[in-house]
Amino acid sequence: MPPSSKSAAGSLASFCPWAAEEGVRVYLRPVGLLPVDAWAKGAAVPLAGGRFAFSSAELIVRRGASVERAYAPLSEIMSWGVERGRAVATRLDRQLAALTRTRAPFAGLDLGRPLIMGIVNVTPDSFSDGGDFFDPSSAIAHGEALLEAGADILDIGGESTRPGSTPVPPDEEGRRVVPVIRHFAEKGAVVSADTRHTAVMRVAVDAGARIINDVAGLRDVGSVKFAATSGTPVVLMHMLGEDPQSMMDRMDYQDAALDVFDWLEGRVESCLAAGIAPENLCVDPGIGFGKTNTHSLHILRHTAMYHALGFPLLIGLSRKGFIGKLSRGEPPKERVAGSLIAGFETLGQGAQILRVHDVAETFQARAVWESLHPAAT
- The 10s digit of each residue's pLDDT in 158-197 is 998 766 667 889 999 999 999 999 999 999 999 999 999 9
Range 50-68 average pLDDT: 96
Asked if residues 299 and 256 have their Cβ atoms less than 8 Å apart, the reply is: yes
Q: Which residues pair with 317 in a beta bridge?
A: none
Q: Where are the domains of the chain?
A: 4-100, 115-372
Say how far apart CA 363 and CA 152 lie, in whole Å: 10
Q: Can 319 be counted among the known catalytic residues?
A: no
Which CATH number is correct for 115-372, 3.60.140.10, 3.90.1150.10, 1.10.3660.10, 3.20.20.20?
3.20.20.20
Range 64-84 average pLDDT: 96
Q: Can 320 be counted among the known catalytic residues?
A: yes
Say how far apart CA 366 and CA 340 lie, in whole Å: 10
Residue with the larger pLDDT of the pair 198 and 8? 198
Could you give the C-alpha distances from 212 to 67, 191, 200, 205, 348, in angstroms and in order?
Answer: 35, 9, 10, 8, 26
Q: How confident is the model at residue 4 (pLDDT cuts 50, 70, 90)?
A: very low
Q: Identify the DSSP state of 332.
A: G
Pairing status of strand 52-54 against strand 4-8:
unpaired
Cα distance between the two ends of the chain: 38
Catalytic residue among 91, 291, 320, 366: 320
Q: How confident is the model at residue 135 (pLDDT cuts 50, 70, 90)?
A: confident
223: left (phi over 0), alpha (psi -120 to 50) or beta: alpha
Catalytic residue among 91, 291, 355, 366: 355
**Amino acid symbol at 122:** V
Give the per-residue pLDDT at 2.
Answer: 38
Pairing status of strand 52-54 against strand 45-46:
antiparallel
Average pLDDT over all residues of the chain: 92
User: What would the pLDDT profile of 245-266 be if each residue is shown by its tens digit?
Assistant: 665 667 789 999 999 999 999 9
Q: How confident is the model at residue 377 (pLDDT cuts 50, 70, 90)?
A: confident
Say how far apart CA 241 and CA 188 lie, in whole Å: 36
Please, where are the H alpha helices in the chain? 37-40, 74-83, 86-100, 136-149, 170-186, 198-206, 223-230, 256-273, 293-301, 321-326, 336-347, 359-372
- 3 state DSSP class of 2: coil
Q: Which residues pair with 70 in a beta bridge?
A: 8, 59
Q: What is the CATH number of domain 4-100?
A: 3.30.720
Q: How many CB atoms lie within 10 A of CB 361?
A: 15
Range 252-281 average pLDDT: 97
Residue with the larger pLDDT of the pair 140 and 247? 140
Nearest Cα to Cα of residue 104 among 278, 361, 364:
278
Say how far apart CA 58 and CA 56 lie, in whole Å: 7
